[in-house]
Amino acid sequence: MSRIKTFNLPDLGEGLTEGEILAWLVKVGDTIELNQPIVEVETAKAAVEIPAKWAGQVQAIHHPEGTTVEVGTPIIAIDTDPGAGPLEAPSTTATPSSDLPTPSAASLAAVEVAPAEGMIEPGLIGGAAPGGRTAVLVGYGPRTTAAKRRPRKGGVPAQAAAAPAPAAPAPQPVVAPVAAPARNGQAATATAGLVLAKPPVRKLAKDLGVDLGTVTGSGPLGSITREDVQQAASGAVAEPIATPSVTTSAASFGTDREQRIPVKGVRKLTAENMSRSAFTAPHVTEFLTVDVTRAMKALDRLRGRREWRDVRVSPLLLVAKAVLLAVKRHPMVNSTWAGDEIVVKDYVNLGIAAATERGLIVPNVKDAGRLSLRELADALNGLVQTAKSGRTSPADMSGGTLTITNVGVFGVDTGTPILPPGESAILAFGAVREMPWVHKGKVKARQVTTLGLSFDHRIIDGELGSKFLRDIGDFLTDPEAALLAWT
């Protein structure tokens, strides 16, 4: 077995196809241990440190920092037995054929069946697995074997089609289908006769008068999306009404005064998710302005207690508690649209939208409804600190069921947030401001905030959404009374 092991970029178990190498944590010649972090990679969800699969000495680093590589690409070579002596360096000069020994048939057969250098053993990450798949950190990746297709009726058998063409002149050739580029480097074929598009997309194209055979798909496997059709329609309409050139001179600027930021990683995933959610789930947003003076005083009393003095207590804690209690009263809010059914979940993975240097991420507190107020405070603080440091793992951002976005930290009163895919409600928590408010028949200065609730109208109707938002407002108006009444 070869001493040199080649480590390929693994699939981190979230269906990711590529990652950007942010930083190498080792260099050539370093001695490393098993499971020692060797490289930091930014995926479409987070920055992740990947551990070594073998102990040994780093022999080669195949890609520098800042390079985006696909899953399965070799990124580092490790000598797993550096104490066995120096490796034989391959010759860089041509050797006369007369000086080379003639290999025997037995040796050729041995070379044929021996595992290739750097090959990963079956069952390990990146190695072979049953069904032609590749083992990854979680589960198995995509199939690497060629798909077998059933021959069409009256068509040419697959073996005959794959055979080389005869040397004799062929009749008039049939026009070949046009290959359309697809996302993630995959090739797809889109022709007038065979177009990858869902029925709603086909109907939209028919309504807009767009020929799908002329549209380049940007979806999986080159499929055509609603955005592709809308873009083609807008482009077709824009040509006839193009404005004529004007004679007045306009200021022109060079590219040295422009900044082009590549869309990748977290920002790319966020853009795709928000676009998909905005055009899939029918959004409705309601607003509620509430007096939170009593809630702010309750927080002050909580901070003064001895067991809470080492805990960071913010208004977000009470908002999170209000949401969790309101979900118990209205379980349908914590659900997912699954096409022909609605999945109502008995657990709340509470997402908290966090702005980071790499873009917006939404990690979540798992099963937050079972936590005490102190446990919830610790979980929220840990979640926010991990997000700010850029160390949030993909697992922490998966499985969210309901989200809070705290736009108040930016001095904003409220907003109309877009639902994360798979969720049916998201709450925007605005800034807490001192404002004039009618209290006990008199206008007084009170602490006031505005809540904005966006929800999926396929699941949540106006009555349910209003009651849910009203309960959150009632808790923030008088937390002590709400706790006594609801628990």
Catalytic residue ranges: 457
Please state the three-class secondary structure of the chain as a single string: CCCEEEEECCCCCCCCCEEEEEEECCCCCCEECCCCEEEEEECCCCEEEEECCCCEEEEEECCCCCCEEECCCEEEEEECCHHHCCCCCCCCCCCCHHHCCCCCHHHHHHHHHCCCCCCCCCCCCCCEEHHHEEECCCCECCCCCCCCCCCCCCCCCHHHHHCCCCCCCCCCCCCCCCEEECHHHCEEECCCCCCCECHHHHHHHHHHCCCHHHCCCCCHHHCECHHHHHHHHHHHHHCCCCCCCCCCCCCCCCHHHCCCCCCCHHHHHHHHHHHHHHCCCCEEEEEEEEECHHHHHHHHHHHHCHHHCCCCCCHHHHHHHHHHHHHHHCHHHCEEECCCCEEECCCCCEEECEEECCEEECCEECCHHHCCHHHHHHHHHHHHHHHHCCCCCHHHHCCCCEEEECHHHHCCCCCCCCCCCCCCEEEEECCCEEEEEEECCEEEEEEEEEEEEEEECCCCCHHHHHHHHHHHHHHHHCHHHHHHHHC
Q: In 3D, which of 457, 452, 424 has the Cα closest to residue 284?
A: 457
Location of structure tokens 């797993």: 80
Cα–Cα distances in angstroms (integers) from residue 174 to residues 171, 193, 324, 378, in the given order: 9, 14, 63, 67
